[in-house]
Amino acid sequence: MNFGDWPRAITFNRNVQYFVAIWKYGDPQLWQVVDGGTKVQLQEGIQEKSVKNGVGYEVKVPLSELGLKTGDKIYFVGCIVGGDGASSPDTIPDNDYPDNWDWNVDLNITNMAEFVIP
């Protein structure tokens, strides 16, 4: 997750294709990952979004927007991330942190929720 002006110390054991990001309870945005250093915002991707009392947010993204169909698997993970070059101090589901972890130490996300599209 190192996109030039948007560097984060997070790696994944799967190919990341899309992510939703929000900064300080602002407007949630849907991004498509083109390659290891390039992301593109999908302006129309989020059908509905809401920020609940500055504590969290929900988004609704049509599966067709992501090119998904019945039988496909989708993996989810939520990460709280600091600013530039920062790692994630908390994830859901939980992930293991390396010994002597600190904000600038890469966190490898290996534990994700899995959903098979009915």
Residues 6+ positions from 62 with CB-CB distance below 8 Å: 47
CA distance linking residue 84 with residue 102, whole number of Å: 14
Give the model confidence (pLDDT) of 12-68 as tens digits. Answer: 888 888 988 887 767 788 889 888 778 888 878 888 887 777 677 788 888 888 888
Cα–Cα nearest to 62, from 38, 46, 51? 46
CB 25 within 8 A of CB 54: yes
Cα 57 to chain centroid, rounded: 13
And the tokens for 96?
Answer: 């293991």
